[in-house]
Structure 1
Amino acid sequence: MKTENISKIIADELKIKVFQVDAVTELLDEGNTIPFISRYRKEKTGELDEEKVRIISERLAYLRNFVKRQEEIINKIEEQGKLTPELQLAIEKTTKLQELEDIYLPYKQKKRTRAQKAKEKGLEPLASTIILQNLAVGTPEEVAAEYINPELEVETAQDALAGAQDIIAEMISEDAQLRQELRKFLWNNAFITTTLDEEKENTDEGKVFLMYKEYKELVRTLPSHRILAINRGEKLECLKVKMEDDEEKILSIIGKRFIKGNSIFQSLLKDTVADSWKRLIQPSLEREIRNQLTETAEKQAIDIFGTNLRQLLLQAPLAGFTVMGLDPGYRTGCKMAIVDPTGHVLDHGVLYITHGEKGAAESAKKALALIKKYKVNLISIGNGTASFETEEFAAKLIKDNGLDTHYIVTSEAGASVYSASPLAKEELPEYDVTIRGAVSIARRVQDPLAELVKIDPKAIGVGQYQHDVNQKELANTLDQTIESAVNHVGVELNTASPALLKHVAGINATIAKNIVTYRNENGPFSSRKELLKVARLGNAAYTQCAGFLRIGGGKMPLDNTPVHPESYELAKNILAKLGADVDILNDKKQLEMLQAKIKIANPEKLAKDLNAGVPTVKDILDALSKPGRDPREDLPVPLTRKAIVKLSDIKVGTIMRGTVRNITDFGAFVDIGIKTAGLVHISELSNKHVKHPLDVVAVGDIVTVLVISVDEARGRIGLSIKQVPQEAKAI
């Protein structure tokens, strides 16, 4: 592969045009961010979406490194004086890293191997004679006798033959074509087998891996979650893992390649082939395959985590509510915080809901007074310890007092991590750790994105085996996911926290803090252009970030839309063509008239008349029709309740409504309003074949489910979506 071929390779992989890859490459090399390229450079890229731009970015980096590795290998072989035109061509034609390393293997500098020691003893000519296999008369010992040399520690003919066999065994193991053939054979035919350590079988640690006590599965059919489970079991020394293969068939494959006719060396070569396989090839290929399985499984787990996180971040905000956040607890009580619709803390305290009848009664009285005082219309309850009892308390309080208040059970994953963080101390210095957790639980229903970006995404708990995967790759994916979500929604410049701002395209943590410092010292931003006064925010950063930042009620109405400042003149000209100006965006009555005109506008004609790109004109029309609008408003709002389903009511056959909290390879976990989330196994998601749960459900979806099993001892509830009768209504 050559550098000039990279664009063609990526274009073929993605089934797009080469010019599109070239455009993205140029834009990336100029320092543009992926959100900016996909949103504001559509004419140049041929309207590539963010996912394709991101893939191009990743593949570009990989293939450039690949070409660099090819050049390194060619140089190293050339330094050894072993580079031939045929070898160079083979290296340059290779497009896979594994194949490249296979070719390089014989030339790679190694520790002194048995074969190298044998070569130092002058046994390479003997190895060549054996490999030629053109002697039909005599014995191997007779041929080897002339290589006896006590000075080089070759005392006998057997010593000479053993050394020659070591040379041949290494040569066989380094044959690139053979390795590819055996790798393919093992991938299609080998098994992974596991056994559970007897001493750990009855321990809490070991019980987790009971299904792998005596387990066997084809390498090629192992799903990613099972690979990661097996790896974890092996790491904890609960499982012994090995790869089983058909040795007889494998030795036959190698033998056909290296043993010819009936020479006097036939028996010796059979032994050499077996040694090469067992000592050199098998351990190497087993490591490769296990590593490949792990890499594939980790990528799948990381992708699922990223998809789940994006869905969680983009859940519809419950805007306009005054929220009472409850962080449940037994011994220390239930921490409570009330926040207004902007997230400002109005009051806080502790409710002793589980401290007997007296404690519950006093807590009810206190909570009722606060609900009435602050006109609380939503209660957000954390789903951790004592969540069920707290939910019972809230439902009873609402029912007994006829309150026009709903409650919602909210995932509190990461709340404790946030509450003890430096950011939480900076944001809420006057409150202790426990109250900060309650504030977070309240705020995260008002605006999940703004609150969840403050938490390490690995602590949010919406994936599988996140602690077992490559942490650097996981962190990169999660950062990209947050960046994508934040820039998709847009950020209100005058209220955003540094934690939110640092994910906006072109803004890093330092600039984010400088923006907030400037805001605190000079008051709210009145225009996007004012950003250029922020320390370290230059023209390049401004170009990248401006379109993703919103200013409600500022001097320029376009500042509250996704229209980029570079397109303001075009936007004004489009408005003029529609018989309006920018001030119409602040006039609700006039805006309805504009929206009606936009619906019948012809983007192609406008683009031609104004000498502009059609994609940009379409985006501007879309932005002008809904200034200040949050794209999450199109999503269904989270499920809220007024009554509770008791644990005793959870019987097989019960039909319920719930919220999808997490998705894994094997199914979806659904919050049905009790402490334990129920599992809808992949086989229970649909009557049609489901390749992956993400094809059917998403985090945040509200689903109707049927209870199909309850295992109180193990704390498990089995649910089904496909078995819910069409006419059934959720309770």
Structure 2
Amino acid sequence: MEPEIVERVKQTLSQYKARQVETTLKLLSENNTVPFIARYRKEMTGNLDEVAIREIQDEANRITKLQQRKREVLNQISEQGNLTPGLTKQINAATQLQQVEDLYLPYKQKRQTKAEIAKAAGLMPFAQWVLQFPTTGIEAKAKQFVNDEVADVSAALAGLHEILTEAIGERAQFREWVRRYTARNGQLTSRLKRNGESLDDDHVYQLYYEFETSLKQVSHYQTLAINRGEKAKVLTVKIKVDEDAILQYLNFQLIGRHHGPAVEIVTAAYKDAYKRFIGPAIERDLRRELTDGAQTHAIQVFGDNLYHLLMQAPLKNHVVMGFDPAYRTGCKLAIMDGNGKFLAKQVIYPHKPAPTQKREAAMPAFLKLLTDYQVDMIAIGNGTASRESEQFVADAIKQMKRPVRYTIVNEAGASVYSASSVARKEFPDFNVEERSAVSIGRRLQDPLAELIKIDPKSVGVGQYQHDVAESALDEQLDRVVETAVNQVGVDLNRASVELLTHISGLTARTATNIVAYRDEIGTFTTRVQLKKVPRLGPKAYEQSVGFLRIIGGKNILDNTDIHPESYPVAKQILNHLNVTLADVGTSKMPTGLPATELATMSQLFGVGNTTLTDILAGLQRPGRDLRDEMPAPILRTDVLQMADLKPGMELQGTVRNVVDFGVFVDIGVKQDGLVHISHLTKHFVRNPAAVVSVGDIVTVWVLSVDEDRHRIQLSMVAPDD
């Protein structure tokens, strides 16, 4: 990477030490992945996490693009013969792309404007003369420029006006000042468009029929909602600003103390320049900045929610039934063993309009499945007929002689998965709904492994996701998935191609080859066998192997997050502590070693304290899963109806989505309740994500219930508080 870019990144991201930035960029340039650097190169980066590494990476990419654009602009202006030392200095000093574009604007090739026509007609010298503010002789001077292309004095003055107006409108200094002034003092307004209400039957945009707020204070979700209303032709959106103050600035810059007939000409030109060029351009720029900021924020919210959704605690070693509810077509059931292996499927018809005979047969068939396969957990999809199915399941549980519990699972995206090529390959003989039942059940057993098969945009945790740039959203969600998968690690002998594809250093091709080689040999018994996988070279092995676990293999270290490059050190540590490989993960492994002992070992084995601590953690807890520390799903045995809810009632629920204005909580009834941002805590909250995350188990109190509108208002603040 160019030294100049590295220096600029260090200047921009001054919160990081220069060495951290230099090392991170060097590691990235050597094709190391972000998860690998964050996990196995902590000593080199000063313990930077994925977020910091990506911030450095993104800033380097931004500056690289900026430098490239500067070179393009300089070359194009130079080819025109208009490049001056002063302009070169200004362009090179620019820190934002907008500044470069403003400086380039006067030299940018454009369609033939009235000003260009006037220049071609020879009126440029006339404009330059007028800008010297002569005290007399404007019309006399204009006569000198009458020719075959300039019919008379009026035409000369009109051409003069166009040249001056365009020149003023394109001056970078003026645009920069007006942009800053408008950003500080402007107001974003939206009004109901004529006949707009007829396009807003549900009054979705009613809040914005008469809306006005400072550009500095407009919320991200307001920006996206207003944009959507404008696109739907319901709203008219404008930026209001004190134009007199702007015109006064232009007057001061262009006219100052000058007087005479030229003042009137220049005044008309700068007013027209603001009206036609500067004002509309600045409004577009600021609207775009608002939108970009709102989209970036919405993408971040989606990413945060997705991360917490993927990191929900798995329900391990339970026989689970996936229950995909429906009315007419029947409820599809699928049973998986404790490892997620499919065991059985069936369709029952417990709900109307199914015939009475089928409805009566549903309960015995259901109870038989629970008994025959020793099902102890039931995952019910939250789609159509979900709550009727919940009542059916609760009635069945009461008839069981052993404990069976259920939970409602968000089935968003299950239908997308069921119709996908991945699902068809996994269950070629199943119909779409039967695949959905499997997916719903596995989401409870291992949310990460199952949700990874679905387009992240389909999992139902976004905020205005359809209003953001799809490519940027996809990039962010891919990063989130990559982070989650690598933080957890995968079982090399069970992981799907889809899961392996997100492992550091692997591609779809190498992931496919791993699974094919696994099928060929039966199971991996050691990490070293990965080196025999076709097309998985030394770099891919280095980047991926630490995130791939082998349970019950030949080497207990293969079931830890210790990288094979550190195995020699790990064995030295075991010898130093007077324990063996057989003691790894047992009570014989020492814990809570004093800092002095860690310092001694660090010096003795030539590894940093952070790496040493990580190795010790791996030795103490092989097979550890970060998700085990997350809240477990709420399991129920009976049904709660919306009609049962009363103000003041205390309940436990699961956070399903976090948005700017609050959080949606599943409390076990058909409709998720909303905890408005003002009811999250007793104190002011700017960002709900700072208080709760998707998957959190929270205690809430019912504020109000509107059954007609299917709305439940909740609070996370106890009534007494």
Contact kept? 1:127, 1:167, Cα under 8 Å: yes
Task: Out of 661-670 and 361-370, give the one that drifted further.
Answer: 361-370
Q: 1:347 aligns with which of 344, 349, 354?
A: 344
What is the match of residue 173 of structure 1?
Answer: 169
Q: AA paired with 1:295?
A: D
Q: Say if 2:15 is the partner of 1:15.
A: yes
Contact kept? 2:250, 2:270, Cα under 8 Å: yes
Contact kept? 1:298, 1:470, Cα under 8 Å: yes
The 5 A counterparts of 1:479-628 are 479-585=478-584, 591-596=586-591, 602-628=597-623
The superposition leaves residues 705-729 of structure 1 with CA deviations (integer Å, 9 ceiling, x where unpaired) of: 1222222332221111124447xxx
Task: Out of 471-480 and 679-688, give the one that drifted further.
Answer: 679-688
The superposition leaves residues 297-333 of structure 1 with CA deviations (integer Å, 9 ceiling, x where unpaired) of: 1000000000000000001101111111111112212
User: Could you tell me how far apart the structure 2 residues matched to 1:560 and 1:90 are?
Assistant: 57
Q: Say if 2:310 is the partner of 1:313.
A: yes
Q: AA paired with 2:167?
A: M
1:10 Cα deviation after fit? 3.4
What is the match of residue 47 of structure 1?
Answer: 47
User: Could you tell me how far apart the structure 2 residues matched to 1:608 and 1:329 are?
Assistant: 64
The superposition leaves residues 470-505 of structure 1 with CA deviations (integer Å, 9 ceiling, x where unpaired) of: 000000000000000000000100000001000000
Q: AA paired with 2:364?
A: K
Change (3 A) 1:264 1:208: same
What is the match of residue 686 of structure 1?
Answer: 681
Q: Say if 2:275 is the partner of 1:288.
A: no
User: Could you tell me how far apart the structure 2 residues matched to 1:300 and 1:142 are?
Assistant: 59
Contact kept? 1:381, 1:409, Cα under 8 Å: yes
| Secondary structure in structure 2 of the residue aligned to 1:170 | helix
Contact kept? 1:206, 1:238, Cα under 8 Å: no
- Relative to the length of structure 1, the TM-score reads 0.95
Q: AA paired with 2:168?
A: I
What is the match of residue 141 of structure 1?
Answer: 139
- Relative to the length of structure 2, the TM-score reads 0.96
Contact kept? 1:598, 1:625, Cα under 8 Å: no
1:15 Cα deviation after fit? 1.0
What is the match of residue 123 of structure 2?
Answer: 123
User: Could you tell me how far apart the structure 2 residues matched to 1:671 and 1:307 are?
Assistant: 19
The superposition leaves residues 338-359 of structure 1 with CA deviations (integer Å, 9 ceiling, x where unpaired) of: 1111111211112222227765
User: Could you tell me how far apart the structure 2 residues matched to 1:434 and 1:660 are?
Assistant: 26
Q: Say if 2:221 is the partner of 1:225.
A: yes
Q: AA paired with 1:311?
A: H
What is the match of residue 62 of structure 2?
Answer: 62
| Secondary structure in structure 2 of the residue aligned to 1:507 | coil
Change (3 A) 1:448 1:249: same
Task: Out of 169-178 and 550-559, give the one that drifted further.
Answer: 169-178
What is the match of residue 101 of structure 1?
Answer: 101
Q: AA paired with 1:57?
A: Q
User: Could you tell me how far apart the structure 2 residues matched to 1:460 and 1:693 are?
Assistant: 20
Contact kept? 1:336, 1:350, Cα under 8 Å: yes
Task: Out of 91-100 and 570-579, give the one that drifted further.
Answer: 91-100
User: Could you tell me how far apart the structure 2 residues matched to 1:600 and 1:94 are?
Assistant: 48
User: Could you tell me how far apart the structure 2 residues matched to 1:4 and 1:365 are?
Assistant: 74
User: Could you tell me how far apart the structure 2 residues matched to 1:610 and 1:600 are?
Assistant: 15
| Secondary structure in structure 2 of the residue aligned to 1:265 | helix
Change (3 A) 1:567 1:706: same
What is the match of residue 212 of structure 2?
Answer: 216
Task: Out of 11-20 and 390-399, give the one that drifted further.
Answer: 11-20
Q: 1:303 aligns with which of 286, 290, 300?
A: 300
Contact kept? 1:704, 1:724, Cα under 8 Å: no
1:438 Cα deviation after fit? 0.6
The 5 A counterparts of 1:193-212 are 193-203=189-199, 207-212=203-208
What is the match of residue 729 of structure 1?
Answer: none
Q: 2:260 aligns with which of 234, 258, 263?
A: 263
| Secondary structure in structure 2 of the residue aligned to 1:513 | helix
What is the match of residue 191 of structure 1?
Answer: 187
User: Could you tell me how far apart the structure 1 residues matched to 2:221 and 2:365 are?
Assistant: 47
The superposition leaves residues 652-671 of structure 1 with CA deviations (integer Å, 9 ceiling, x where unpaired) of: 33222110000111110111
**Length, aligned pairs only:** 718
Identity %: 44
User: Could you tell me how far apart the structure 1 residues matched to 2:190 and 2:205 are?
Assistant: 10
User: Could you tell me how far apart the structure 2 residues matched to 1:687 and 1:30 are?
Assistant: 49
Q: AA paired with 1:604?
A: A
1:199 Cα deviation after fit? 3.4
1:211 Cα deviation after fit? 1.8
| Secondary structure in structure 2 of the residue aligned to 1:320 | coil
User: Could you tell me how far apart the structure 2 residues matched to 1:179 and 1:342 are?
Assistant: 63
Contact kept? 2:642, 2:707, Cα under 8 Å: no
Q: AA paired with 2:610?
A: P
The superposition leaves residues 510-541 of structure 1 with CA deviations (integer Å, 9 ceiling, x where unpaired) of: 11111111111111011111011111101110
Q: Say if 2:246 is the partner of 1:250.
A: yes
The superposition leaves residues 386-407 of structure 1 with CA deviations (integer Å, 9 ceiling, x where unpaired) of: 1111111122222344540111
1:84 Cα deviation after fit? 1.9
What is the match of residue 429 of structure 2?
Answer: 430
Q: AA paired with 2:692?
A: V
What is the match of residue 366 of structure 1?
Answer: 365
What is the match of residue 458 of structure 1?
Answer: 457
1:11 Cα deviation after fit? 5.6
Task: Out of 187-196 and 518-527, give the one that drifted further.
Answer: 187-196
| Secondary structure in structure 1 of the residue aligned to 2:261 | coil
| Secondary structure in structure 2 of the residue aligned to 1:221 | coil
User: Could you tell me how far apart the structure 2 residues matched to 1:251 and 1:358 are?
Assistant: 82
User: Could you tell me how far apart the structure 1 residues matched to 2:626 and 2:594 are?
Assistant: 18
User: Could you tell me how far apart the structure 1 residues matched to 2:595 and 2:328 are?
Assistant: 63
User: Could you tell me how far apart the structure 2 residues matched to 1:693 and 1:537 are?
Assistant: 43
User: Could you tell me how far apart the structure 2 residues matched to 1:468 and 1:269 are?
Assistant: 43
**Unpaired stretches in structure 2, ≥5 consecutive residues:** none
User: Could you tell me how far apart the structure 1 residues matched to 2:206 and 2:358 are?
Assistant: 44
Task: Out of 646-655 and 505-514, give the one that drifted further.
Answer: 646-655
User: Could you tell me how far apart the structure 2 residues matched to 1:725 and 1:421 are?
Assistant: 51
User: Could you tell me how far apart the structure 1 residues matched to 2:400 and 2:43 are?
Assistant: 59
User: How large is the RMSD of aligned CA atoms in angstroms?
Assistant: 1.8
Task: Out of 76-85 and 558-567, give the one that drifted further.
Answer: 76-85
Task: Out of 207-216 and 291-300, give the one that drifted further.
Answer: 207-216
1:196 Cα deviation after fit? 2.8
The superposition leaves residues 418-451 of structure 1 with CA deviations (integer Å, 9 ceiling, x where unpaired) of: 0110000111122111010010000001100000
**Unpaired stretches in structure 1, ≥5 consecutive residues:** 727-731
1:236 Cα deviation after fit? 2.1
Change (3 A) 1:399 1:482: same
Contact kept? 2:664, 2:672, Cα under 8 Å: yes
Contact kept? 2:326, 2:385, Cα under 8 Å: yes
User: Could you tell me how far apart the structure 1 residues matched to 2:98 and 2:441 are?
Assistant: 51
Contact kept? 1:353, 1:363, Cα under 8 Å: yes
User: Could you tell me how far apart the structure 1 residues matched to 2:552 and 2:131 are?
Assistant: 84
User: Could you tell me how far apart the structure 2 residues matched to 1:11 and 1:331 are?
Assistant: 64
Q: Say if 2:233 is the partner of 1:234.
A: no
Q: Say if 2:325 is the partner of 1:325.
A: no
User: Could you tell me how far apart the structure 2 residues matched to 1:600 and 1:360 are?
Assistant: 67
| Secondary structure in structure 2 of the residue aligned to 1:464 | coil
User: Could you tell me how far apart the structure 2 residues matched to 1:597 and 1:582 are?
Assistant: 19
What is the match of residue 469 of structure 1?
Answer: 468
What is the match of residue 407 of structure 2?
Answer: 408
Change (3 A) 1:624 1:601: farther
Q: Say if 2:669 is the partner of 1:670.
A: no
Change (3 A) 1:102 1:3: farther
Contact kept? 1:3, 1:67, Cα under 8 Å: no
